[in-house]
Amino acid sequence: MYDAPTQASKLDQTDIKITANNVQVYYGDTHAIKDVSVDIVDRAVTAFIGPSGCGKSTFLRCLNRMNDTIDICRVEGQIKIDGEDIYDRRIDPVQLRAKVGMVFQKPNPFPKSIYDNVAYGPKIHGMTRNKAELDEVVETALRGAALWDEVKDRLHTPGTGLSGGQQQRLCIARAVATKPEVLLMDEPCSALDPIATAQVEDLIESLKEQFSVVIVTHSMQQAARISQKTAFFHLGNLVEYDDTNTIFTNPSDPRTESYITGRIG
Amino acid sequence: MPVIWLVLIVLALGAGGYVLGRSRALGSAGGDSRKLHSLPNYYGSNVAIKTLVPSFLVLAIWLIAQPIFVSSQISGQLPDGIVPEGSSVGLVMAEVRRTADGIGALVANGTMSADMAASAQVDPVDLTARLQEAGQVVTSAITQPILQAAQSYRAMNATGGMAMTALVLLIALGGLVYGLRETAPQFRARNVVEGSVRVLLIAAASLAILTTIGIVLSLLFNTVEFFRIYPASDFFGSLTWSPSFQGNSQLGIWPLLWGTLYISIIALTVAVPIGLFAAIYLSEYASKAVRSTAKPLLEILAGIPTIVYGLFALLTVGPMLMRVFGDEGIGWMQSGTAVMTAGLVMGIMLIPFVSSLSDDIINAVPQAMRDGSLGLGATKSETIRQVVLPAALPGIVGAILLAASRAIGETMIVVLGAGAAARLSMNPFDAMTTVTAKIVSQLTGDSDFASPEALVAFALGMTLFVITLGLNVFALYIVRKYREQYE
Amino acid sequence: MTDATHEGAKRHRSLLTVDAQTKKRNAAEARFKVYGMVAILAGLTFLVVLAVSIIRSGLPAFSANMVQVELTLSQEQYAEAEGQLFKTRAYADIFNAAFTAELRERGLTTEFDPESIERIIGQPGATIRSFYRANEDQLGQPVTFNLPTASRIDGYFKGRLLRENVTDSRFLTLADLDLADELKEAGIIQSQFNWTFITGKDSSVDNPGGAGLGASVIGSFAMMLVVLFLSLPIGVAASIYLEEFAPKNRITDLIEVNISNLAAVPSIVFGILGLAVFIQFAHLPQSAPLVGGLVLTLMTLPTIIISTRASLKSVPPSIRDAALGVGASKMQAVFHHVLPLAMPGILTGTIIGLAQALGETAPLLLIGMVGFVAREYPDGLVSAFMDPNSAMPAQIYTWAARSDDAFYEKAWGGIIILLVFLLAMNLLAILLRRRFERRW
């Protein structure tokens, strides 16, 4: 399935999928994100790293307007996806989130069957015309999340009965099933053991063939392993944003260096 | 000696014991409380407990046992054939007790000397007259055997009372002395006192069990008594409810159960959608300001006594419905009191019950679940309908079952709002009646406690208790399981 | 995933155009939200309708139309009236004669039938007789009497009885209403605050005007004292045991399940329990507030235990650890530290439990505390607990069951008084919570 030519994806790296300009986020009186501007590339993995509380998750949640669900949260500045301002008044966050999928820190399968978990997105978005199509979408998504072989015989058992790693891959399949263009991942491996983490990382590696993947992680090794671009956040500021190699080998900002070498964080 | 004086004396002994024990402990340590194992107060409390607890325990047991013992003795002494046709030993004993009380009252106000009250020469006819004149309740003329029974009843009670007083005082004094002799510096008074307090706490906690046992026993005994004089097959098999005081009552439970069920269904049809949607709106949509005003306002509905709802049904909702569905309107309704009236009002009463329970349950669904759905691009209502509600379903079902049990057990609204006619009808605008309403009417009427017409109330109560208990246990089990799932 | 999905038009879905599917979904969203608002509004509307009917129907109970008449009774008239067989009748005759004379003197225009007066004022004889028997020194002097009008006339002035519904009968004629209107205009009939309603006792079925809630307020109060003094210590003791000491085993589990079930047992079942255990078995007096208090105690205990346990639970474990750490026994830690900290919450829960008990009706009916036993005030402390009395809600029920508009008015009025008590108790609970609430 994932035999798209590597050249093509390298070419696509030059495409800019998301542009953020001077984004400010306030939680009540707290200024959580300070003037962040960043360009996120299509069909690549972008990692947000930084010490906890630095605002990386908050910023991630701005990209599909999940912060709308928090009453006291206020976002200023401009975020464009494919050149369209997602905070434009004409934008429906529901449509936006179908285009920008999200996977959360803790695996959160719905208390439904594995099949229904994956079929949920396509169903609400009216993406399929009949059961056969839906079955196909579910299978494709589960294969895409490298879960199909493990669950194909128990599609109608509860999703909550899977192991942690499987649950997280189920959540990824669930997000993939709605055919998003961007996939946001908020510390997707923090609740998983090393083996499950490796599986999910492999999965992310293959996902970047189709999506622009943005991942928040507290693990620098993970960022180094899987991402092409890395952004370092500190105290609500975007300190440095560059190719992952550059960040880890030759950071330009002393704060980045301190963090990478373990002196802050 | 009246019991109250005995209690006061024992209490005084206890207080004295406290003071004595405390000072004795201090004395034994030479006034230096550091040499004692426990604080001096604990030694005092120990003596007080030893004085009070055993004596009060004996007092309580005696007070319960004596009437039972005396009654069984007296009823054993009653000559054969004194129990008239259609009556029971219990009724005769009640008369004996009334007569004895009457004589007691006469002696107390000085109309009769104590000797005379006990003498065998008292003329029953004269006594009846005197009792009636003194305003004592006497149902019929007192007969000689009853008078004799009453006199020996008085005598036995007097002896019993004296024996009780002596025994209780003896035990109290014994406890006092024992407690004082225990008092020594090495004595672990605190541990003993704390142990006793612990027993007291356990006793308080067990009262809940005792209450349940009390409920079950009081229902069971009287229900068995009822089924002895009225066949259970008729009670559960007959479709007619028509009690009559001449006997030949038809006491079939089905019309009452049907009325109960019908009213509850209407109530739930009103309360569940409104309550559930109110809960959803308050927990998922409402701003903080709306939530903090609307929620307490709705909960006022839950704090209003049911008698208010009853009156509201009888005098406001009933006439209102009559204007629309009555003879001047569509003509479906004969009178303001009907299944619909009671059901609607009961539904209003249950709205906050359903809404606050559902609110709790909806809030227990983890936010991650909502985020997951919203993150996929679901709208809020899709998230609620397809993720939150299915996840909360067991809890909500539990809440609805609890509401149903409330509706089934509700009394005042149906007594005032549903009418009194027991009938099996499908028309919601007919007057019908319920199990609870009939319990009230059968037990507040003039019928004799031993008659099937009164005893049937206990069988009805038993049915009600079993149904609501079943619903509650089941509902609480579901809710508990549900809570554990997300904890 | 098919290749077509990540190529071509599908690749760049514009967000600015809202497709039909999304429009439909958003409409469903809006509808759903409206359902929620409608539900809230429906609930609030019910509350408003309830409040309006209570106030509109209940307020008239607090006023009464009274006739003020000055009467001078001579020594001879007194002696003569006392000498008659129907004494109150004699007084009524004297009164009627005097009143008629006064009206004629005032020059009332309407020609009226002397019997009209009787129908307007009812039977004043008993009131007048008892006044003079108590105050013989007032004989020969002018005394102003404040007499209630008959309930039909009272209802007429309050709008309960409409002129077009009146047909001449031996109870009331249209001419009576004309006269009453004139008396009202002349200021002889005045609307006054009805103290009798607040302080009085229940009256007989044919005298709604004299009915009052006072005696049953005393009954309710006595019951609440019993409930307070039993349920607070027992409830607190049980909660302390279950929350602080009880080992986790099947017996404590049973007790816990039991308590939550008891909280949901219909109140009428507690009435049956009270009837069977306290009256049939223990031979406690029927209709006594003591028995009512005992029944309500058993009924409110689960509520109080549940709320007390919640307040004990909210005291952080660090407090217990701190006390145990300086060598206090577990009992001392609980009684010296945890309990005082939990006390505001416990009191709040108790007050709310009491309020619930105050409004309870059904169990009281079964143990005989119906309204019509509230005919006398208790004389003394023991009598307040042991002698037959009613309670506010039961008295309201009795009035409601009399099927008489005049008594319905009393029932609504009684509800206002009951709700005022409940409101006061809830306010007290809220104040307590505000004043002492502690956030850990």
Please give the pLDDT value at position C46.
Answer: 95
Q: What is the mean pLDDT of residues A141-154?
A: 90
pLDDT, one tens digit per residue, over A217-235 is: 988 889 999 999 999 999 9
Contact: A110, B369; criterion CB under 8 Å: yes
pLDDT at B437: 92
Residue-range domains of chain B with CATH: 3-187 (no CATH), 250-486 (1.10.3720.10)
Q: Given CB atoms, is C362 within the 8 Å cutoff of chain B?
A: yes
* Cβ–Cβ under 8 Å, residues A99 and A180: yes
Distance from the C68 Cα atom to the nearest Cα atom in chain B, whole angstroms: 33
DSSP string, A85-130: ETTSTT--HHHHHHHEEEE-SS----SSBHHHHHHHHHHHTT--SS
Strand partners of residue C144: C70
Longest CA–CA span in chain C (Å) reads: 121
- pLDDT, residue C110, reads 63
- Paired sense of beta strands C189-193 and C63-72, if any: antiparallel
Query: What pLDDT, on the 0 to 100 scale, is given for residue A5?
Result: 41
Question: Chain B residues with CB inside 8 Å of A124's CB?
Answer: 376-379, 382, 386
Query: pLDDT at position C10, please?
Result: 45
pLDDT of residue C37: 95
Residue B217's pLDDT is 92
The band of C8, judged by pLDDT with boundaries at 50, 70 and 90, is: very low
How many angstroms away from the CA of C26 is the closest CA of chain B? 8
Q: Give the model's pLDDT for residue B263.
A: 95
Best residue in B37, B221, B277 for a mutation probing chain C (most C CBs within 10 Å): B277
* DSSP code per residue over C11-61: GG--SSSPPHHHHHHHHHHHHHHHHHHHHHHHHHHHHHHHHHHHHHHHGGG
Q: What is the 3-state secondary structure (H, E, C) of A192-261?
A: CCHHHHHHHHHHHHHHCCCCEEEEECCCHHHHHHHCCEEEEEECCEEEEEEEHHHHHHCCCCHHHHHHHC
Residue with the two structure tokens 């983490």: A197
Give the distance, in angstroms, between the CA of residue A260 and the centroid of all CA atoms in the same chain.
Answer: 22
Q: What does the pLDDT look like over A50-100, one tens digit per residue?
A: 888 888 999 999 998 988 888 888 899 999 998 889 988 888 888 888 889
What single DSSP character describes residue B410?
A: -
Phi-psi region of B146 (alpha: psi -120 to 50; beta: other; left: phi over 0): alpha
> A229-234 and A237-243 as β-strands: parallel, antiparallel, unpaired?
antiparallel
pLDDT confidence of residue B230: 87
Asked if the Cβ–Cβ distance from B412 to C257 is below 8 Å, we say no
**Which one of C3, C5, C15 makes the best mutation probe of the A interface by having the most chain A beta carbons within 10 Å?**
C15
pLDDT above 60: residue C259: yes
CA dist., res. C373 & res. C396, Å (int): 13
Residue A81, SS3 per DSSP: strand
Residue of A nearest to C18 (CA): A92
Average pLDDT, chain C: 85
Top residue of A2, A68, A92, A142 to mutate, by most chain C CBs within 10 Å, is A92
- Using CB atoms, pick whichever of A1, A88, A144 lies closest to residue C16: A88
Taking the CB of residue C335, how many other CB atoms lie within 10 A of it? 17
What H or E segment, with its residue span, contains residue C412?
helix C405-436
SS3 call for C142: strand
Using DSSP's 3-state secondary structure scheme, residue C67 falls into strand
Q: Is the pLDDT of residue A4 over 80?
A: no
Rounded to 5°, angle at Cα C295 from B352 and B350: 10
CB contact under 8 A, C22 and A179: no
Q: What is the pLDDT of residue B35?
A: 80
Q: Any idea what the Cα angle at residue C411 is, between residues C409 and C417, rounded to 5°?
A: 110
Which of B29-43, B175-189, C41-55, C135-149 has the largest mean confidence?
C41-55
- Measured N-to-C along each axis, helices C151-158 and C174-185 cross at an angle, to the nearest 10 degrees, of 70
Give B204→chain C minimum CA distance, Å. 5
**Interface touch B307/C264, C-beta < 8 Å:** no
Quick check: C16 and A84 CB within 8 A?
Answer: yes
Question: Which residues of chain A does C11 touch, with a Cβ-Cβ cutoff of 8 Å?
Answer: 181
Q: Average pLDDT of A128-151?
A: 90
Q: What is the mean pLDDT of chain A?
A: 87
Spatial contact of B307 and C396, defined as CB atoms under 8 Å apart: yes
Strand partners, A76: A24
Q: Please state the separation of Cα C101 from the chain's center in Å.
A: 44
Which residue in C has a C-alpha nearest to residue A94's C-alpha? C22
C-alpha span between B408 and B403 (Å, rounded): 9
Contact yes or no for B55/B175 (Cβ under 8 A)? yes
Per-residue pLDDT tens over the stretch C361-377: 999 999 988 888 888 88
Strands A212-216 and A182-186: parallel
Q: CA C404, CA C154: separation in Å to the nearest integer?
A: 13
A98 burial (CB, 10 Å; 0-12 / 13-18 / 19+) is buried
Mention every residue, 6+ apart, whose C-beta is less than 8 A from residue B135. Answer: none
- Asked if C6 reaches chain A (Cβ–Cβ under 8 Å), the answer is yes
Q: Amino acid identity of C139?
A: L
B285 in C contact zone (CB under 8 Å): yes
| Number of alpha carbons in the 13 Å side-chain half-sphere of residue B109 | 12
ipTM: 0.89
C63 sits in the region (left: phi over 0; alpha: psi -120 to 50; else beta) called beta
pLDDT tens track for B117-148: 777 677 777 777 777 776 665 556 677 777 78
How crowded is residue B4: how many other Cβ atoms within 10 Å of its Cβ?
A: 9
Is the pLDDT score of A12 beyond 60?
Answer: no
Give the nearest partner residue to B379 out of C25, C46, C276, using CB atoms. Answer: C25
Strands (E), C27-159: 63-72, 142-148
Domains, chain A, ranges and CATH?
4-260 (3.40.50.300)
The letter for the amino acid at A151 is V
Ranges of chain B whose pLDDT falls below 70: 1, 80-91, 120, 134-141, 247, 446-447, 486-487
Contacts C348 to B, Cβ<8 Å: none
Question: Which ranges constitute the DSSP H helices of B313-451?
Answer: 318-325, 339-364, 367-375, 380-383, 389-409, 412-417, 435-444
Domain with residues C214-436, CATH architecture: Orthogonal Bundle (1.10)
| B146 in Cβ contact with B92 (< 8 Å) | yes
pLDDT above 90: percentage of residues in chain C: 36
| Residues listed for chain C | 440
Q: What CA–CA distance (Å, rounded) separates B433 from B436?
A: 8
Cα distance between residue B365 and residue A110, in whole Å: 11
- B19 to chain C, any CB pair closer than 8 A? The answer is no
Q: List beta partners, residue A39.
A: A19
Kindly state whether B476 is in contact with chain C, defined as any CB-CB distance less than 8 angstroms.
yes
Query: What residue of C is the nearest CA neighbor of B345?
Result: C46
Q: Is the pLDDT of residue A178 over 50?
A: yes
> Is residue C163 very low, low, confident or very high in pLDDT (cuts 50, 70, 90)?
confident
Least CB-CB distance to A91: which of C6, C15, C26? C15
pLDDT in tens, B163-213: 999 999 999 999 999 988 888 888 888 888 899 999 999 999 998 889 999
Taking CA atoms, what residue in A is nearest to B372?
A108
C286-344 pLDDT tens trace: 889 999 999 999 999 999 999 999 999 999 988 899 998 888 888 899 999 999 999 98
The answer to whether C237 faces chain B, any CB pair under 8 Å, is yes
Chain C contact set for B411 (CB, 8 A): 266-268, 361-362
The CA distance from C171 to C155, in Å, is: 13
| Pairing of β A212-216 and β A229-234 | unpaired
**Span of A134-143, A189-198, B66-75, C38-47 with lowest mean pLDDT:** B66-75
The pLDDT assigned to C439 comes to 66
